[in-house]
Amino acid sequence: MSCLKKPTDFAYTLSKFFSDYLAGLCNFSEHTIYSYRDTFKLFLKFCNNEVGLPAEKITFDNIDMSMIEHFLKWLKQERNSSISTCNQRLAAIHAFFRYVQYEHPERTALCQQVLFLKFAKAPKTELNYMSVEGIQALLAIPNTAVASGRRELAILSLLYDSGARVQEIANLRFGDIRLLNPAVVRLTGKGSKVRNVPLLKGNVQILSAYVHDNQRRLAHKDDVLFVNHSGQRMTRAGICYILRKNADAARLLHPELIPEKLTPHCLRHSKAMHLLQAGVNLIYIRDFLGHTDVKTTQIYARADVTLKRQAIEAANVVSIQSELKSWTEDTDLMAWLESLGKT
């Protein structure tokens, strides 16, 4: 008769972290939980293949800061993970060890070592967004003479007009939209935070046509709003496919308006920039997007200032030359500084 082996302290705590803490107390979204799960699947694979430590033998005594550093290095070098992806993996590890230090105070020293690990700095990238004309060109592509085209237009227009994250659109149920005045869509964002976003007249008409097409299926408020051809809830991948298909068609007609790489998040960026350029206050844009901190929203303001500067410089046909000598022309920096005050 075989007896069940008692799980290690690491295995027991990790299972409690996922079942009780993330899903229960924190009420994290499925997407976040899956991302954390993938992190620890990779960590277990790393321990087995690189350290020679199978999952069933991992204990907290085996883990230290250098092992986590080695894991992050392995992700980058062996799996070609980007800086952003490595930072996401480290965020999951940080979350776990914050949990551990309260569940196992005797492990506080280990936890603080791991929490001391800093996120890598990623190079700054330009904010990817489309012009109003680009959005109009994209939304003109779906064939509204057929039901599938009306569904695609409903998804794309709502994705842009609400500034929603792609998973927020995928999760929508029929009861989350109100098409009567005042029309709103109820979005459930990160941390299960709910926000109501107003729907504009054009979007209401598009959604009304879609609901009419699906009136037999959308009989109850809990019915999934957007489904695929199999009648299953639309996935992130499915929505990305619809965007990519229509973007490819729009690019053939307007290559100057449609970027080569277009993601659902680009539509969210576009809506935020268009609101900002229309003079909408950053605080309202923060609430509209579901940001916790206005500092996150300020990326749009910084991007807009940069674009204004570029436009001004491009329009400045009069070249203003400085009469000041460059200090690199003088071997004596002090002498150059002193010369600035002389006429």
Alpha helix ranges (H) inside 131-235? 132-139, 147-161, 166-170, 201-213
Residues forming beta bridges with residue 198, ordered by sequence position: 184
268 is catalytic: yes
216 is catalytic: no
Active-site position among 190, 217, 236, 254: 190
241 is catalytic: no
Active-site position among 268, 269, 274, 286: 268
Neighbour count for residue 165 (Cβ, 10 Å): 21
Active-site position among 151, 269, 274, 291: 291
Alpha carbon distance 103, 21 (integer Å): 11
Alpha carbon distance 162, 185 (integer Å): 8
- Which residue, chain included where needed, has tokens 């002389």? 342
Active-site position among 165, 269, 271, 286: 165
Query: Strands 194-198, 184-188: parallel, antiparallel or unpaired by DSSP?
Result: antiparallel
Neighbour count for residue 343 (Cβ, 10 Å): 2
**Do 245 and 149 meet the contact criterion of CB atoms below 8 Å apart?**
no
Alpha carbon distance 122, 110 (integer Å): 27
Q: Nearest-CA neighbor of 301 among 117, 127, 160?
A: 127
265 is catalytic: yes
3-state secondary structure of 170: helix
Vertex 27, ends 21 and 33: CA angle to 5°? 75
291 is catalytic: yes
Q: Nearest-CA neighbor of 259 among 154, 148, 129?
A: 129
Strand order in the sheet with 177-178: 177-178, 184-188, 194-198
**Do 178 and 184 meet the contact criterion of CB atoms below 8 Å apart?**
yes
Active-site position among 265, 308, 309, 325: 265
254 is catalytic: no
DSSP H/E element including 188: strand 184-188
Tell me the CA distances in angstroms from 324 to 28, 31, 118, 335, one per residue in order: 58, 57, 43, 13
User: Annotated catalytic sites, by residue?
Assistant: 165, 190, 265, 268, 291, 300
